[in-house]
């Protein structure tokens, strides 16, 4: 699952491929925004953790993984 995280005062967004379900990601974001967690903690598909301070969250976009196209015919 692809997760994009916007961070305040940062020029680029964070994009990770997570093995967590959409419900797990949504619960982690809700806990961070409610103040029950100081950090938004997500794990990518390689087991690496991404930690973002909850007061710096601008937005979180949760979507399905896009199939990666390779080659010259990928511009469709």
pTM of the predicted protein model: 0.78
Is the pLDDT confidence value at 65 over 80?
Answer: no
Domain residue ranges of the chain, discontinuous segments joined by +: 2-67
Q: Assign 33 to helix, strand or coil.
A: helix
Half-sphere exposure of 76 (CA within 13 A, CB side): 7
pLDDT at 59: 95
Task: Tell me the CA distances in angstroms from 57 to 14, 19, 70, 74, 76, one per residue in order.
Answer: 11, 21, 33, 33, 33
Q: Give the pLDDT confidence of 9-53 residue by residue, as tens digits.
A: 999 999 999 989 999 999 999 999 998 889 999 999 999 999 999
Give the mean pLDDT of 54-59.
94
Instruction: Tell me which CATH code domain 2-67 carries.
Output: 2.30.30
Please tell me the distance from the alpha carbon of residue 76 to that of residue 67, in angstroms, as a whole number. 13
């Amino acid at each position: 699952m692809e997760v994009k995280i916007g961070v305040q005062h940062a020029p680029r967004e964070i994009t990770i491929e997570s093995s967590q379900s959409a419900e797990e990601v949504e619960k982690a974001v809700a806990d961070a925004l409610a103040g029950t967690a100081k950090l938004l903690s997500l794990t990518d598909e390689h087991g690496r953790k991404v930690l973002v301070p909850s007061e710096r969250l601008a937005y979180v976009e949760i979507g399905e993984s896009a199939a990666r196209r390779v080659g010259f015919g990928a511009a469709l």
